[in-house]
Structures are given as structure tokens and as C-alpha cells.
Amino acid sequence: MLDGAAELSSPTSLAHMDPPTPWITWAMALWNASLNQNMLHEMTSPFATQAEALVLRWLSPYFGMQGGHFCAGSTLANLTGIWAARDAAGVSKVVASEAAHLSVEKACRLLGLELLKVAVDRHGRLDGAQLPSLDDACLVLTAGTTATGAVDPLHLAGAAKWTHVDAAWAGPLRLSRTYSGRLDGIAAADSVAVSAHKWLFQPKDSALVMFRDLEMANSAISFGGSYLARPNVGVQGSRSAVAIPLLATLLAWGREGVAQRLDDLMQMADVLADAIETSDRLLLWGRPQTGINVFRPTCSTAAALVQALPPGMLSTCVLDGQAWARSVAANPLVDMNLVVGSVLAASLEGA
Ligand SMILES: *Cc1c(COP(=O)(O)O)cnc(C)c1O
């Protein structure tokens, strides 16, 4: 198992949205496994239930939300937000950019909602000029698209019957004093999804779905039952206590500790972007908006560049039918000088 795993904490690991996890989360995850608390039944999890409420009380205000619950990933968090849009607000369709995550399309398929895809501008953001009528729609805005890290125009939040912000990747930037403004407008959304197993450095399966009007949303997505002391809220039934490792991380690092790591990662992405821009053998797709760089060599292919570098340093993505190399600043232990040197050297080799 160990030999067959990527080392996400390696100094050259920069390819994916999966961060290395702090050891305090390993200890908490081990305890969670041994105690096997179930968030579905508060009687099995009196402390874990309080811990989840505490974490949500602490994080929700950064997004202008009242609260919510944990689920196993933002695929489920997006499904839950769009479910609430359908059953609390009565939307009949979903509008999202063509760069939205495929989980939005999955949610529409499962919920029987029509999905209208809107073109993106040259920065990869939903083009507000091309929006259809939003009267009976759930508008899904992405804060940090998966391929390029673009942030849709969040000032559009509130322009539809329901606005859901998919902040799976970039949501935690709200904790940064320097970069919080990149997500301004998010507080006018009706629901927000954030993956804690991305930029909050948590083990999987940890994500949050939060709502501006919690009572209204919960009444639409809750089921009661004879064996349940309290209604079951959301998509999952039995759930593990993933709030505990996150609570431990937040207590250990504080807001400043989380923000410092994110600020460092954002700056490291800028350092790589600067180096790419000054090289005439590399073409930068655009300045990084949320720690993701997209670029390609001018004299060879993105695949050849990625192949020439250590595994796990870069990934690839396809934009407008063309392959690009992609880096994702999720690893605070990355050695950016080493990465920059390697990328520049590899771009010379391919020439
Ligand atoms: C990762 C991601 C998702 C899906 O989140 P999971 O936690 O992998 O289920 C949704 N939207 C965006 C923008 C993402 O980057």
C-alpha cells in the first residue's frame, strides 16, 4: 500500500488538489475509526455532534452562511445544495458555466433538472453577458474551477431564484486576510460547498455544505423516521465524525495558521507564473487566480513536458481542444525553487 501511493508531501508534489495532511488529523482519524461514532445518531456521538456544530459555527460566517453539515465530498455538497434549490425554492433548471465541475451535471441528472451551460470568457470565468433568464433557475457559480482555478463573477450571487457557489477548491481563501476579497460576493449565495479535504488539509472524506437560511434549507432536505431521534439531514445516512480532525487542525493552527499556509501557496503559484512568463519556451495560459497554473511549452507538447518531470509534479488538462500542463498549489511542503528549476530545464530539453 505504501509503495503504491503517491507522496503528496514530497518537495516536487504539485499536480493535484489533494494536500498532504497534518499528523494531528492522523491521530484523530485513528480515534474516529476506533470509536466508530455515527453522526446519524447523536446518542453514539454526543461530543462529535457538538464538534461538528462548533466547526460550522466557526466557518460558516466567512461565507455569509448560517450553518450546514458535513458530507463526504463536494460532489455530495453540490448535490445537496442543488437539491435544496429544487425543493426549498422550486427551481426548474440549473445554469452553470461550461467549466463547472462534472458533479453539477451529475446532480442535475439525479434531480431531474435541466442544465444550461454558459460559455466562459478568456479567463475561464462564466460570461455574465451570456446568461439566460434566471427567474426559475439555480445559478451555480464556481469559486476556483478544477482545470484553471478561475473564479466566476460572484457579484451575480443573488441574481437567480437560488445561487449555489461551488467553492470546493478555493473556498478556504475566505480565511486569508490577503486573498479573501477574491471571493467577495459569495455571502449573497443561498448555499456554498467547500471541500475540507482540499485546501483545509483534511483526510478524505471531508466537505461542508452551508446554507444562508439553514432552517428553510434543512426542512427541504430532511427525513424523519421511527428509529431516528432527530431527522436525517442531507444525502448520506450514517456519517463518520470528520469534523473532529478538522476541529483539531483549526485548534492547532488557528485561523492565522490556515491563512499563512494558503498565502504561502498563493505566492508560490505566483513565483512559478513569473518564471513561466519570463521564459520564451513556455506559454502561460493566464495569471493564477487561486493557486493553479496552466501552461505549455512553445516548442513541444504538454504531455512531453509532464513526462520529462518527476511523477506528481504536474498534471494535464484540456482547454479549447488543446492539452496544457497544470500545477496545483496544495502542498505547503513543495520546494518551489526546485520545481521552477526543473520546469525550465525540461522546457529546454524538449526544444
Ligand atoms: C474537487 C471539486 C469538486 C468535487 O469535490 P469532491 O470533494 O472531489 O467530491 C467540485 N467542484 C470543484 C470546483 C472541484 O474542484
- Cβ 146 under 6 angstroms from ligand 1: yes
- Cβ 164 under 6 angstroms from ligand 1: no
- Express as a percent the part of the chain with pLDDT over 70: 99
Q: For 142-162, write each residue's pLDDT tens digit.
A: 999 999 999 999 999 999 999
Looking at beta carbons, which pairs linking 297-304 to residues 24 or more positions away fall under 8 Å?
297/325, 297/347, 297/350, 297/351, 299/347, 299/350, 299/351, 300/347, 300/350, 300/351, 301/350, 304/350
Q: What is the mean pLDDT of residues 114-134?
A: 98
Q: Which atom of ligand 1 is nearest to the CA of 142?
A: 13
CATH 3.90.1150.170 range(s) for the chain read 255-350
- Express as a percent the part of the chain with pLDDT over 90: 97
Lookup: cell for 266 = 498563493
Q: For 273-330, write each residue's pLDDT tens digit.
A: 999 999 999 999 999 999 999 999 999 999 999 999 999 999 999 998 999 999 999 9
pLDDT at residue 13, as a whole number = 98
Let me know if 114 is exposed, middle or buried by CB neighbors in 10 A (0-12, 13-18, 19+): exposed
- Cβ 101 under 6 angstroms from ligand 1: yes
- Name the residue of 82, 148, 186, 195 to mutate for ligand 1: max ligand atoms within 8 A of Cβ: 195
Q: Which atom of ligand 1 is nearest to the CA of 73?
A: 7
pLDDT reading at 71 higher than 80: yes
Question: Topology of 255-350 in CATH?
Answer: Aspartate Aminotransferase, domain 1 (3.90.1150)
pLDDT reading at 264 higher than 90: yes
Q: Which atom of ligand 1 is nearest to the CA of 78?
A: 10
- Cβ 73 under 6 angstroms from ligand 1: yes
**Cα angle 171-172-173, degrees, rounded to a multiple of 5:** 90
pLDDT reading at 245 higher than 60: yes
Lookup: cell for 238 = 450514517
pLDDT at residue 15, as a whole number = 97
Q: What is the mean pLDDT of residues 266-275?
A: 98
Question: Topology of 23-253 in CATH?
Answer: Aspartate Aminotransferase; domain 2 (3.40.640)
pLDDT reading at 351 higher than 70: no
Q: What is the mean pLDDT of residues 109-127?
A: 98
- Cβ 289 under 6 angstroms from ligand 1: no
Give the model's confidence band at 350: pLDDT under 50 very low, under 70 low, under 90 confident, else very high.
low
| Contact status, residue 87 vs residue 98, Cβ threshold 8 Å | no
* Beta strands at 207-211 and 222-223: parallel, antiparallel or unpaired: unpaired
Q: For 165-210, write each residue's pLDDT tens digit.
A: 999 999 999 999 999 999 999 999 999 999 999 999 999 999 999 9
pLDDT reading at 349 higher than 90: no
- Name the residue of 80, 154, 166, 315 to mutate for ligand 1: max ligand atoms within 8 A of Cβ: 166
Q: What is the mean pLDDT of residues 84-96?
A: 98
- Cα(193) to ligand 1 centroid in Å equals 9
Q: Which atom of ligand 1 is nearest to the CA of 76?
A: 9
| Contact status, residue 97 vs residue 142, Cβ threshold 8 Å | yes
CATH 3.40.640.10 range(s) for the chain read 23-253
